Amino acid sequence: MKKYELMALPYAPEALEPVISKETIGFHHGKHLQAYVDNLNKLLPDSEYENMALEEIVRKAPAGAVFNNAGQILNHELYFLQFKPVGEAAQGPEGALAAQIEKQWGSVEAFKAEFEAKGVGLFGSGWVWLSADADRNLVITQEQGASNPVTKGLKPLLTFDVWEHAYYLDYQNRRAVHLAALWQVVDWSVIASRYDA
């Protein structure tokens, strides 16, 4: 049986400060994500999903505990791997991704404004995503709970987590401030590589 493990962060817990604090990383990665990993490992034995990859589980499992825990692991792995410390990440999209953003939104600033608005406007807990469709067009979606754009046949590229555990220690109820700050640590080279893959 495939056993899932907590992903290792590619940076130190304090590396994303002041945008995301060491304390938030400790709870978000070390407690919340660990719980999803532990829960999924308990749910998989003797199920039809026990040897599937995460993305396959998320595409095939119906709503429920297996879907929720697998979805949250997949979402968080994409989320944590898209960041670099302030000043070390590429400051904006380049190449084919930049050209597509300009084509569809007119400017990176217009894209960011819509992306942040969709994150602020998502009621309750969930995720806002930038994804690519089969024709490489870009799509912004709001996903409730543990959902992921792969369930719609899309390729996820960039995500902001709007579950309160992602920002409450640092920003309290100021979700909009948190979302605006996250651009400082987005590593656009990672997003571009996902788009080009």
Q: Would you write out the chain's pLDDT as a tens digit for each of its 197 residues?
A: 678 999 999 999 999 999 999 999 999 999 999 999 999 999 999 999 999 999 999 999 999 999 999 999 999 999 999 999 988 977 899 999 999 999 999 999 999 999 999 999 999 999 999 999 999 999 999 999 999 999 999 999 999 999 999 999 999 999 999 999 999 999 999 999 999 99
Are 75 and 108 within one domain? Answer: no
Question: Terminus-to-terminus CA distance in the chain, angstroms?
Answer: 28
Token match 């505990």: residue?
A: 65
Are 99 and 191 within one domain? Answer: yes
Determine the structural domain holding residue 36 and report its residue range: 22-80
Are 64 and 29 within one domain? Answer: yes
Residue 126, CB-side half-sphere exposure with 13 Å CA sphere:
17
pLDDT of residue 90: 75
Are 50 and 136 within one domain? Answer: no
This prediction's pTM: 0.96
Are 68 and 99 within one domain? Answer: no
Beta carbons of 162 and 127 less than 8 angstroms apart: yes
In a domain, 1, yes or no: no
Of 175, 190, 59, the residue nearest 117 (C-alpha):
175
pLDDT of residue 87: 86
As for how many domains the chain has, the answer is 2
Are 184 and 106 within one domain? Answer: yes
CA distance linking residue 12 with residue 75, whole number of Å = 20
Are 44 and 132 within one domain? Answer: no
Are 52 and 118 within one domain? Answer: no
| CATH number (domain holding residue 27) | 1.10.287.990
In a domain, 3, yes or no: no
pLDDT of residue 168: 95
In a domain, 189, yes or no: yes
In a domain, 168, yes or no: yes
Are 103 and 176 within one domain? Answer: yes
Kindly state the DSSP code that residue 33 receives in the 8-state scheme.
Answer: I
| CATH number (domain holding residue 102) | 3.55.40.20
pLDDT of residue 1: 63
